[in-house]
């Protein structure tokens, strides 16, 4: 592994302007603390308050992207860093952009024979009763281009679909999960201790190996690089369905990637160094 002094001056990109700013600040500050604890010359850098050209002007050598959602996870900041020839962590422009778009991610998975739940792209004038009959209740409605379960609604009747659509459509600036009432929403994800996480998952070893292989293929066919998180679910028969790819997963004390790393003996600080070491351009 690269020694801490070998990374040069590192910018931890955090905050940003997306609806997930609060979580990004939590993730970024945790990463910043971890890198500094390992001796890395790391500094906070909020693109909502700073010009990205300052990265070059101030002598930064690479970036650790801890931005979530639009502008940070969709290829936008990755493209800007490519122009600056500034090495950065995680997926590149294409992989980030595709993974942020859940509809196109599903199309790529289906084209590659990978399992994912049936879905519909909703429009305001849709026949809600027909959709409920086609897909079968309960349903999850969420925006195609948001993360952190923002705008997510669990629907148990066709009459709830119009309201759920408007929530999802509103413009906004391998761990096994047991969530309260089966609803892993924004609050349960980040701010409550009621959600149960099992790592190791408790699944048979051959099943876990198969799911790891499926997740890795799902990650690669979308064009993702470096690090990330693939979400999937198992139905009652044990069949796996891919849900989405997160190219900049949360790094808070409630986040899943640090929990998985701990399960294999990797500290949070070492995890951050591993991610930073894989920073790239192009």
Active site residues: 20, 148, 190, 229, 231, 244, 246, 250
CB–CB of 235/241 below 8 Å? yes
Q: At which residue do the structure tokens 């198969």 appear?
A: 210
Helices (H), 86-224: 93-100, 102-111, 128-135, 161-169, 186-190, 205-221
How far apart CA 243 and CA 142 sit, in angstroms, is: 12
How far apart CA 198 and CA 146 sit, in angstroms, is: 26
Helices (H), the chain: 21-37, 54-57, 76-84, 93-100, 102-111, 128-135, 161-169, 186-190, 205-221, 256-263, 268-277
SS3 content of the chain, % helix, strand, coil (to 5): 40, 15, 45
Q: At which residue do the structure tokens 């293929």 appear?
A: 217
User: Which token pair is 238?
Assistant: 């044990």
């Amino acid at each position: 592994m690269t020694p801490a002094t070998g990374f040069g001056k590192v910018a931890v990109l955090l905050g940003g302007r997306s609806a997930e700013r609060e979580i990004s600040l939590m993730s970024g500050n945790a990463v910043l603390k971890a890198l500094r604890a390992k001796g890395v010359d790391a500094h906070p850098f909020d693109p909502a308050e700073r010009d990205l050209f300052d990265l070059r002007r101030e002598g930064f050598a690479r970036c650790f992207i801890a931005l979530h959602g639009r502008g940070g996870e969709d290829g936008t900041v990755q493209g800007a860093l490519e122009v600056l020839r500034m090495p950065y962590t995680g997926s590149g422009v294409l992989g980030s952009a595709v993974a942020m778009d859940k509809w196109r991610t599903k199309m790529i998975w289906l084209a590659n024979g990978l399992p994912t739940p049936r879905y519909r792209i909703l429009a305001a004038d849709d026949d809600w009763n027909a959709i409920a009959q086609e897909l079968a209740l309960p349903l999850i409605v969420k925006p195609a281009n948001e993360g952190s379960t923002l705008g997510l609604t669990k629907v148990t009747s066709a009459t709830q679909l119009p309201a759920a659509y408007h929530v999802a459509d509103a413009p906004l600036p391998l761990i096994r999960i047991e969530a309260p009432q089966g609803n892993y929403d924004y609050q349960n994800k980040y701010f409550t201790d009621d959600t149960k996480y099992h790592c190791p998952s408790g699944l048979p070893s051959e099943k876990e190996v198969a799911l790891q292989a499926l997740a890795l293929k799902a990650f690669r066919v979308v064009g993702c690089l470096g690090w990330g998180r693939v979400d999937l679910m198992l139905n009652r028969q044990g069949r796996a369905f891919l849900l989405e790819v997160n190219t900049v997963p949360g790094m808070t004390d409630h986040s899943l990637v640090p929990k998985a790393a701990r399960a294999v003996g990797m500290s949070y600080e070492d995890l951050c160094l591993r991610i930073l070491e894989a920073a790239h351009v192009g």
